[in-house]
Amino acid sequence: MTDLIYETQHSFYQYIERVAAGTQMIADYLREDKVGEAMQLITQFSEGVVWLTKVIALMQQHQYDIRINPNQINEFLLEINDGLERQDYIIVADMFEYEIKPFFEEAAKERFYQKEEEN
């Protein structure tokens, strides 16, 4: 089980770095009016961050924690959805570049740590 935990953590670290890089591409596509390409990446982004939040929750069940707030990730998804519903692609691009990208750049520096058992 320990190997599976470490492999999952390793995959998490690799993926979160790609998320940070991908957010700029989404912002660029939206600003270049390449909405179709941006929407494909946004779909992948959404699926990926849902996976990240699931990993965080599963790690917590196995006494591992990380200093990343999954609620903030969910808030980003709600804000993205709201901007897309209004077709305000500039706002969505700004969110990806100035809010989401910095969040994931910082999150990529974090590592899981084992929680101490409570007596």
Contact 24, 103 (CB under 8 A): no
pLDDT in tens, 42-98: 999 999 999 999 999 999 999 999 999 999 999 999 999 999 999 999 999 999 999
Look at residue 116 and tell me if it is in a domain.
no
Look at residue 93 and tell me if it is in a domain.
yes
Residue 119 clears pLDDT 80, i.e. is over it:
no
By the 10 Å C-beta count (0-12 exposed, 13-18 middle, 19+ buried), 57 is classed as exposed
Look at residue 61 and tell me if it is in a domain.
yes
pLDDT in tens, 12-21: 999 999 998 9
> Could you list the residue range(s) of the whole structural domain that residue 59 is in?
2-109
Domains in the chain, number = 1
In the prediction, which pLDDT does 42 show? 98
Contact 115, 65 (CB under 8 A): yes
Look at residue 53 and tell me if it is in a domain.
yes
